Amino acid sequence: LAQGDIGQHFPPSDPQWKGAASEIFLRHAANLAREMGFTLSNVDCTLVCEFPKVGPHAAKMRAVMAEILGIGADRVSIKATTSERLGFTGRGEGIAAIATAALVKL
């Protein structure tokens, strides 16, 4: 969409966003795409973490993400990988996510 990063839409200096539910940010992005005349074709999300194991939760995560985005769960992919104990994710200090959304101009 070329509309800037999350910090431009939700400045980290604004205390109202501290601890805000990530659903707010995802819904904002989906709505912005629609307002600009796009539809979401599909979404792919990879979580990088040693734990928790994502597999047992992936179906529920897909369903929730699909509901937030307003698309079918069959168009959402959730998967995970480890960093082989390297970096902050490997030490269990946090989780990283890599997500891609395919947009189609209406």
Set out the domains of the chain in order of their start, with CATH numbers.
6-105 (3.30.1330.50)
Q: What is the pLDDT of residues 6-31, one digit of tens each?
A: 999 999 999 999 999 999 999 999 99
pTM strictly above 0.85 = yes
pLDDT at residue 106, as a whole number? 86
Q: Which tens digit of pLDDT belongs to each residue from 55-79?
A: 999 999 999 999 999 999 999 999 9
What is the DSSP code string of the chain?
-----HHHHS-TTSGGGTT--HHHHHHHHHHHHHHTTEEEEEEEEEEE-SSS-SGGGHHHHHHHHHHHHTS-GGGEEEEEE--TT-HHHHTTS--EEEEEEEEEE-
In this prediction, residue 5 carries a pLDDT of: 92
